[in-house]
Structure 1
């Protein structure tokens, strides 16, 4: 049997701008992938997700433009006592200050890696809150965001914000795949995996009426749950249409792989956007 091609390889896409004087194509994509991994590593352990990245070179200047999504872990309305404010650590692990310090160090590494004189990094940060989610959708997943479930479902509040952005076509498949990968790795118990997958399905079903994309598809395959003889399991979820056989459709595809306590797990995320003519007809 023939190997299936990647959905992006055969579809027309806008070429990445490389500047008036650029590297050859093979070297450019190698540098782009390395810079992408470097900036994505700056967001590890935080609620910041790398959405898009673009790199260009003009003479001796390299311009890196990245879009970050800042999800908020806790509610903004939470009341805190004065003693709590005095004893808490001022610099939080998930704050923007930590990410900004890491990005400052990443600029020096990019400069040494590419061998250029000057590197300019432009960050477009999109901040989201729980209140940006429609109220009927919040009510359907209100159980996961309760205060007594804060330790058990620590991903519930900012995960719903990310799913809302994906449905509204404001977040890419890269951000969604990283969110799934992060939480599948940390769920080491048997029931925690099933609860996280149930949360994903219920969250997208609650946001289905507000979707501005044509379709979404998620596939998780591997040993992410406890089963006899170490057999792998396949979990799928699809919302809307996913015309993979039509090459004129704009489809984002992200394939990633990670390790859990039971073995290797692979993730596949597809997001299909509406065509311009169809979007006008639907409106």
Structure 2
């Protein structure tokens, strides 16, 4: 019996999210920072990149790596907040998710080395640094959102300090900053929080009956095949290991979120794999 077509609304929502993620993945990092300039880390990244003494390729890479370190600190702060405030089952779930994320990141770095070894031109070191940065930034933003759901009333997870700031000047975990979500004491914030909580209480449908999830997985498999075909034969095993580790991370993480977050998680991976498939062998 043929499978029913997924609802048009679900597909449209997935298509819009995937298009946005794909656009972010191929845009210069400065454009992504511009789109989120309110965050101190993005602002500092933009300012660093504009400095005359960072105009060279190594200088730009240094700015990106400093931003990646700052986003990693944001991840650590969010995880501390989750450990302090979340229910025990959520603590265990997010601790497992983080462990699998770290395992995937190790395999991902090997995949990126294999992909960018096929390119020519020093500018691709900037592209590689950006790809490494993006996954850390995505994870930090996701964990900030998770931590804000469990934070005490009228408290949010603080944004990381700008690049170059001393640890003493960084906001303490749980501190409110301009980059944070609104304090939950306001009516709008309270309503948004309750709607978000309800969304997380809803039971996840299987992916094959969720149009956004099913189409996202289809696109991921398609771009994965494209990347595999373009990689040198000796490098294809790095893709297999990276994808196996990513799916392990996905399996642990998707159960903790909503259907929309599950589709977005796959969409982030689609954007990365698509970008890598378009980069292999470039001059």
Q: Same fold (TM over 0.5)?
A: no
TM-score by length of 2: 0.27
Higher Rg: 1
TM-score by length of 1: 0.27
Greater fraction helix: 2
Higher RCO (CA 8 Å, separation ≥ 6 residues): 2
